[in-house]
Structure 1
Amino acid sequence: MSRLRVYADDNPGTPIVQLGDPVRIAMELSAIGVRFERWDAPVVPPRDAAEAEVLEAYRPYLDQLMGETGAGSADVLRVGPQTQGWAQARGKYLSEHTHSEDEVRFFVHGQGDFILHVNGRVYDVRCTAGDLISVPAGIPHWFDGGETPDFVTLRIFTNPDGWIAQYTGSDIAVRFPAEA
């Protein structure tokens, strides 16, 4: 189930806001420029479907989104408990960073947390299957797929080089781990 918890960035123990309704989550996040929405595909491809099948299932959404954002490519990221190199990759995602382009993800299966640090607040967004999140360029954030991840996402890129992070050097991600 999708959810949002918002904290003051000096108080990781007590949420200021807790939401579980996707419409209310979208409204709260839109106030900081983050896009959040639910997609209902006519057919959800199996977890192990080929990349082309996953992309085709969501083609109408992707075409519209890529047209709106000017994105040039989309791919499928599949991460599970047996994914080699996950521990190392997780470490780089868990450090607060920004990007020079929007970070756009759609969750086909599984879940993960995008944690955003904006205007003295920390927004922990639990994204689940059917959720789209678009974190605008320049917003400090981190991502946690968990110690034993199990998710399939669509990734949309404008930059042909893909995912490139600029790390902030802050330790805030250590103080605000994703909540279970």
Structure 2
Amino acid sequence: MRINESKAWYMDSSDEDQRKPHRLIPNQPVFLDELKRLGVFYWKLNADIYETDPELERIRKDHGYSYMDIITIHKDTLPNYEEKLKMFFDEHLHLDDEIRYILDGQAYFDVRDKEDRWIRIAMNKGDLITLPAGIYHRFTLDETNYTKAMRLFVGEPVWKAYNRPADDFDVRQKYVASLQGS
């Protein structure tokens, strides 16, 4: 499936509210093939049937996503809401892939490209994304201030984020080396 220009774009450098789109003027879209070269994969699923969706089950089986939970990010449902949003938006990496499936609402994932520029990926209901271990990224809500997401993991969940700079981790070095051929 192809991400169109309304789903991913290069970001401006404004310090304005992180929940705004932050598109460059003129817009510089990013398409799915560019994200794939960064190790970012995307699927569009039917979130209304996530509990019984055979496509989601196939993806989980094919990739070994054995653990799943659901998080609702909204000021009325998430303890320490403002603190957590700030933490999610700090640029970081993980030692494992990050897999998120938006069941309701909207949000953004920002990832760094090979030249260290930010790419913003708009996530809506039905979007499933995987970010590879070692990629610098961050997460924020959009201006609706609400999303409900499924979190998937291979094996037990790992919640530890390593804020930038984290270039000394083997997983970061392997990730950077994987970009050399793309």
Same fold (TM over 0.5): yes
Which of 57, 60, 71 matches 1:63? Answer: 57
Tell me the amino acid that sits aligned with residue 13 of structure 2: P
Residue 102 of structure 2 aligns to a residue whose secondary structure is strand
- Report the Cα distance in structure 2 between the residues aligned to 1:3 and 1:148, rounded to whole angstroms: 16
Which of 81, 97, 103 matches 2:75? Answer: 81
Aligned to 2:28: 17
- Report the Cα distance in structure 1 between the residues aligned to 2:142 and 2:106, rounded to whole angstroms: 9
Which of 107, 112, 120 matches 1:112? Answer: 107
C-alpha deviation, 1:68, in angstroms = 2.2
- Report the Cα distance in structure 1 between the residues aligned to 2:160 and 2:61, rounded to whole angstroms: 22
Aligned to 1:152: 148
* Alignment gaps of 5+ in structure 2: 15-23, 167-182
Length, aligned pairs only: 150
C-alpha deviation, 1:85, in angstroms = 1.2
Backbone CA RMSD of aligned residues: 2.5
Aligned-pair identity (%)? 25
TM-score (norm 1): 0.72
Residue 110 of structure 1 aligns to a residue whose secondary structure is strand
Consecutive aligned runs of 4 or more in structure 1 exceeding 6 Å deviation: none
Aligned to 1:168: 164
Residue 51 of structure 2 aligns to a residue whose secondary structure is helix
TM-score (norm 2): 0.71
Aligned to 1:122: 118
- Report the Cα distance in structure 2 between the residues aligned to 1:71 and 1:94, rounded to whole angstroms: 24
